[in-house]
Amino acid sequence: MRVQPLTICEKAVILEALKAGKRFDYRSLEEFREVKLVVGAEVGTAICTIGSTKVMTAISAQIAEPSSMRPHKGLISIDVDMSPMANYANEHDRLGSKGMELIRLLELIIRDSRCIDVESLCIRAGKEIWKVRVDVRILDDDGSLLDCACLSAITALQHFRRPNVTLEPHHTLIYSEYEKAPVPLNIYHMPICTTIGLLDKGQMVVIDPTDKEAACLDGSIVVACNKRREVCALHQSTNLVLSTKQIERCVKLAMSRAEALTAVVSDVIKQDQRERSAFKRPDGFAITAPSLILTTGTAASIQITAPLTSTEQESPQKALYQPSVIINENPLSVGSVTQEDVDNDASISEQVDIIQSSVGKVEVTEKQSSISNRKREEKEVDDLLDGLDDDEEEEDVQTLALGTENTVQDVHMQEEDEDETPNLLLAKKKKESSSLQLITFFYDFVICLFVSLFCDFHRFQKLTSLFKTLLK
Residue ranges of domains in the chain: 8-289, 348-471
Q: Are 150 and 225 in contact (CB under 8 A)?
A: no
**Counting Cβ atoms within 10 Å, is residue 61 exposed (0-12), middle (13-18) or buried (19+)?**
buried
- CATH code for the part of the protein at 8-289: 3.30.230.70
Answer whether residue 225 shows pLDDT above 60: yes
Specify the 3-state DSSP secondary structure of 331: helix
Q: Are 18 and 216 in contact (CB under 8 A)?
A: yes
Smallest CA-to-CA distance from 185 within 279, 272, 74 is with 74
Q: State residue 216's pLDDT score.
A: 87
Q: Are 17 and 95 in contact (CB under 8 A)?
A: no
Rounded to the nearest 5°, which phi and psi values hold at 287? -75, -15
In angstroms, the CA 62 to CA 135 distance is 14
Q: Average model confidence (pLDDT) for the chain?
A: 75
- Which residues are 138's β-sheet partners? 55, 82
Answer whether residue 295 shows pLDDT above 90: no
Q: Of 285 and 37, which is predicted with more confidence?
A: 37
Quick check: pTM over 0.85? no
Helix axes 373-389, 424-433, angle to 10 degrees: 30
Q: Are 187 and 158 in contact (CB under 8 A)?
A: yes
Q: How confident is the model at residue 241 (pLDDT cuts 50, 70, 90)?
A: confident
pLDDT tens-digit profile of 53-72? 999 999 999 999 988 888 88
Answer whether residue 222 shows pLDDT above 50: yes
Q: Are 106 and 21 in contact (CB under 8 A)?
A: no
* Separation in Å, CA 261 to CA 5, 38, 147, 155, 211: 33, 13, 11, 10, 22
Q: State residue 348's pLDDT score.
A: 73
- Type of residue at 471: L
Paired sense of beta strands 219-225 and 161-162, if any = unpaired
- Type of residue at 224: A
DSSP secondary structure of 124-171: ETTTEEEEEEEEEEEEE-SS-HHHHHHHHHHHHHHH-EEPPEEE-SS-
In angstroms, the CA 197 to CA 144 distance is 10
In angstroms, the CA 122 to CA 63 distance is 9
Answer whether residue 323 shows pLDDT above 50: no
In angstroms, the CA 61 to CA 67 distance is 17
pLDDT tens-digit profile of 388-419? 555 544 444 443 333 444 433 443 444 444 44
- Which residues are 223's β-sheet partners? 194, 234
In angstroms, the CA 47 to CA 148 distance is 9
